[in-house]
Structure 1
């Protein structure tokens, strides 16, 4: 709301207000070293949006002092994040053109998909031949069965020679498939979403285990590490389509592979979105449970034999059923209550996991105060979290 107000005021009073706003922005920039992390995040979002409405004009040379500082210092990080957010609102070459050449170290990298199987010099890589076959098959609109048939030739590096049963989790198979698919669908967000939808069954089989889900996220990051926005939207889509779950995202964020990006704001954007989705799902199940309880209470209040004997239809999250009212309501209520308790447990364990990792995470790039502030930014409703019997913060392994 205030962003739109400031934009309109600058347009209505072009002779005075832009200068005042520029001075205020300069003062905020000078105080970045002592500014709360949440305020820095909001400052980045406002400033990048404001610039996008005024052709990204700014005296970037006045902020050249950030170039002499460590890239993890607040001023350098602020400029880097602002330029990245501006790229989301425009395109990379436009952002490169508006900043001085000396700011190239802070400018966004080219948002291209890194496909290691596309270089003929990597012929010796395991899975290279399968990746070529997979590329041809996907371009020819292969079915899921055909994709599975191609992937069965991928060796499992986790399988022992004397193990006839094998492993459900095959990291090389996931790497070849996900890298190839993301490369072929790299043209736009819509192409990537369509690819995820078309081969959803393949993803579900490959990422059946917790290790598989975690490895899918690793491969997505490796392919799109130069395009944080693509990572964020792909992870969001994978959670919505249940290719990965919230616990896998949390484990991935606190993994060693993501340590050097731990203080990047896109990482916390993903984490906030994950927590909100989980909490929203718990609230939805809680609402269904309360509605079912009310239906059950009305049934007991009426206590009519004719109503108990007459079949009714229920359609909702648990499907469509036709059965006597008493058994149907009790069954739906029982299932909803079990779902609600299970999801509460999942949400609480997820939040305890995040708190434990934020307080103990060993990373040289993130100061303890940064971690504490990030913990305070997590958006959830504590009233909906039921303590698990026998589970305390001190019992977390």
Structure 2
């Protein structure tokens, strides 16, 4: 027998046993974990039946680990807000003495109080971090506990007043004030019955404080309403602003002495007996102060002297209702506000898991008061509908999702979240959610042309196209055939083209074409292009001029010639063109650039990787062209050369506008052109792109041009942010290094006279890396300012042109007058173009307000100088919109 080869059987058995033990350890839960999970999962089957069982389980789990229990309550309250009333009921039961074994209850009877005291510590941590959502939901919990008579009403008043005190802070931002006001208002809505009976005066103080602040934010509301009338300073009544809704709800509740609270917010604890005042003392919430906002200074400054750390601007929030109040709840009523708030919280919290979010949304009625929503077919039958309720669940859910999606200037989460969430809902319940989606689409479509904001219309087209792509692109297009008689640039017709363009990006041209009725397929319908999106190489046809020259350049690219050889060949072609018979008929510089750029794009037209490889291989050539290198000594300048590059790129991809935006982005990424060049080209040269609708007439912007502008501005802003972060990091590293050197020098320098040493110290010199980073930051900041300035100048030229302008727009003033708006049924292409341009100017001001404020003085001085003393209504509206966005009005 040989022992050279070890026996491995036992080892395998041991390994398998170890794996089994590991699996057992992975699934093992300690008793504390089991209890914690039981609290968090409370109510998944029948909340009222589970309530006494969970209470008993908590009482019997001795010894009581209070931090573990309070953590479970905190997690449940802040991540499952629809259960908050039932957790309040559970805590109320834990405050009461158990029915059996009432002999020695000194520890058991105080269990609820111990949990509440530790819960408060977690709330204080949320408040210190300014975690506004968690803070607000904890206030909901405290408000329910006040109604359940576990918390002293005076202490709850003090808590709510600490949030209304924020509204009186000097220079408080709207975002901070809005969140603080909602915290105080919702706490008052829930605890109103207990608070009003204690002190009606304090209730009025809270309401008046919110009202006083809301009266100061009238101007910002003008820029973010989803439905607008440019001629009026009044905000459209077709949408509901958050603080306006809060105040109206509070007024209704206050007038009824908060009698409607019980029919709006679940209160499962109201049937419990009152605590015995002889043995029970309500918990007094400690006094708090809301911490100030954290402002991070990085030591950098702009020309206006303001802090360069750009903070996202927060605006008033408008909710766009889609259905009548008998179908979905009105958020300006107590019951409607409670439903909307509950659904918005689910949307916000479960953004990380859209499938779970969709399930919870469809199960939401189990957490509301009976009769709030219509019963499901075949489910529980409600004898009589509840007056003022009996709403449709699916329509309410879709309305709330789209309301959150349409918030201006941008939604809280990425658009793809809201779009995919609606898709998940349709998959879970297609028979009920599908009709609600269809009705929502029709309602939004009907609002096009009646003042619906251009950015809302763009998001609507994006959602429509993606949703159609998930369900076979099936839509009843024939319903909209009569609208083909409208003006070619009417918002409804523009929506059709935009939506179909998005659909083609998600599929392919022929498939989308087959889904349309014949009237929309026809060229005269101006709805969809006749040919599929693709490149258009201008010099591909042998019958066209300069075909041979373009082929010679193209062959060099195909043969992967060196950039220097291509540059040399282009110089030769340019010389031959200038000496040819038609040399006086063509601009040789422009033609050579067009041939070079289109030939290079032709090589990269097969895929994105081909495009990037082509650009990266011939970066020296592109930089040479952009610098005006392929020209004579007296040829075109730098800006003109870059404009020629953009024009040639747009002409090559004129049948695929998506690729125009992509190529422009890559040219900016590789610094062939600057964002300022793209902005200038968009306002002046964009007619090179032939659309379904001929791009002639007065200067104006459509959604496509806005996409180009947005890409350029985002690129400029992004570069500045990256450069700023780099400077901050390098400066911190350098300061740390100096501090270490100074500390070590101080320890070793005991024999050096302190005064002499101080005299010998020279000012600190920045390292070469930091100096380079600061120069780059300054350069990029100038570029950012240039892009913003060029954009503002472009809008001014479009919307308030001088009489001497070469391409005046007389319709800009017509569409912002009341008479002009009332006559919009007769508007033609130019009027609708002017109206859309005004919409994109508003979007520019509100979206980039944080950046514009840094340069507000210099930009407005230059761009609005010609309007000094003018009474032109277009000029006044331009300046008013600008002043509101930059905080000057």
TM range (shorter): 0.7 to 0.9
Partner of 1:99: 516
**Counterparts of 1:384 and 1:335, CA distance in 2:** 26
1:353 aligns with 2:790: yes
Q: Is 1:285 aligned to residue 716 of structure 2?
A: no
1:335 maps to which residue?
772
Q: CA deviation at 1:54?
A: 0.2
- The match for 2:670 is 241
The match for 2:474 among 40, 57, 62 is 57
Structure 2 match to 1:175: 594
Query: What displacement does 1:205 show?
Result: 0.4
CA distance, structure 1, for counterparts of residue 838 and residue 472 of structure 2: 36
* Distance in 2 of aligned mates of 1:297 and 1:384: 31
TM-score (norm 1): 0.84
Native 8 Å contact 1:189 1:230 kept in 2: no
1:366-381, aligned counterparts within 5 Å? 367-378=833-844, 379-380=847-848
Q: Does 1:70 align with 2:487?
A: yes
Matched, 1:268 2:671: no
Gaps of 5+ in 1: 162-168, 308-325
Alpha carbons 2:676, 2:712 under 8 Å: kept? no
Deviation at 1:290, TM superposition (A): 2.2
Given that 2:493 and 2:527 are in contact with CA atoms closer than 8 Å, whether structure 1 keeps it comes out as yes
- Structure 1 CA distance for aligned equivalents of residues 612 and 702 of structure 2: 24
Shift of 1:304: 3.3
Q: Which residue of structure 1 lines up, in the alignment, with residue 760 of structure 2?
A: none
Which is worse superposed, 188-197 or 148-157? Answer: 148-157
CA distance 1:43–1:387, shift in 2 (3 Å): closer
2:788/2:852 contact within 8 Å kept:
no
1: distance between equivalents of 2:780 and 2:577? 32
SS in 2 for 1:76: helix
Give the CA deviation at 1:306. Answer: 7.4
Cα distance, 1:160–1:374 mapped onto 2, change above 3 Å:
farther
User: Contact between 1:279 and 1:381, CA under 8 Å: does it hold in 2?
Assistant: no
Q: Which residue pairs with 2:862 in the alignment?
A: 395
Contact 1:115 1:223 (8 Å CA) reproduced: yes
What residue in structure 1 maps to residue 643 of structure 2? 214
User: Judging changes above 3 Å, is the alpha-carbon distance between structure 1 residues 383 and 290 closer, same or farther for their aligned structure 2 residues?
Assistant: farther
Match of 1:39 among 443, 447, 456: 456
Question: Residues 305-320 of structure 1: matches in 2 within 5 Å?
Answer: none
Q: Indicate the larger mover: 200-209 or 374-383.
A: 374-383
Q: Distance in 1 between matches of 2:550 and 2:841?
A: 41
Deviations, residues 11-51 of structure 1 (Å, cap 9, x unaligned): 22122221121112111111101211111011011110000
Query: Equivalent residue for 1:228?
Result: 657
Q: Distance in 2 between matches of 1:145 and 1:155?
A: 15
| Alpha-carbon shift at residue 303 of structure 1 (Å) | 4.8
**Does structure 1 conserve the Cα–Cα contact (< 8 Å) formed by 2:490 and 2:832?**
no
Bigger shift: 294-303 or 184-193?
A: 294-303
Counterparts of 1:256 and 1:270 in 2: how far apart (Å)? 12
Figure out how many residues of one structure are paired with residues of the other and give that number: 369
User: Whose helix proportion is higher, 1 or 2?
Assistant: 1
Query: Against the structure 1 CA distance between its residues 83 and 9, is the aligned structure 2 distance closer, same or farther, given a 3 Å change threshold?
Result: same
Compare CA radii of gyration and give the structure with the larger one: 2
Rounded to whole Å, the distance in 2 between the matches of 1:292 and 1:137 is: 45
CA distance in 2, matches of 1:18, 1:373: 31
Question: For 1:215-272, what per-residue CA distance to the aligned partner results, in whole angstroms no more than 9, with x for missing partners?
Answer: 1000011111110111111111111111111011001100144382954423222221
In 2, Cα distance between equivalents of 1:383 and 1:233: 24
Residue correspondence of structure 1 range 186-201 to structure 2 within 5 A: 186-201=605-620
- Tell me by how many angstroms 1:128 deviates: 3.2
Match of 2:543 in 1: 121
Q: SS of 1:155's equivalent?
A: helix
In 1, Cα distance between equivalents of 2:433 and 2:714:
37
> Are the counterparts in 1 of residues 489 and 833 from structure 2 also a CA contact under 8 Å?
no
Aligned-partner SS, 1:58: coil
Task: Say what the alpha-carbon RMSD is for the aligned residues.
Answer: 3.0
Aligned to 1:110: 532
Displacement of 1:292 in angstroms is: 3.0
Greater Cα shift, 8-17 or 47-56: 8-17
Give the Cα separation in 2 of the matches to 1:134 and 1:157.
14
Deviation at 1:71, TM superposition (A): 1.6
CA distance in 2, matches of 1:297, 1:159: 60
Against the structure 1 CA distance between its residues 155 and 24, is the aligned structure 2 distance closer, same or farther, given a 3 Å change threshold?
Answer: same
Cα pair distance change 1:94/1:367, threshold 3 Å: closer
Relative distance call for 1:58 and 1:174 in structure 2 (3 A) is same
1:385 deviates by 6.5
Q: Which has the higher contact order (CA 8 A, sep 6+)?
A: 1
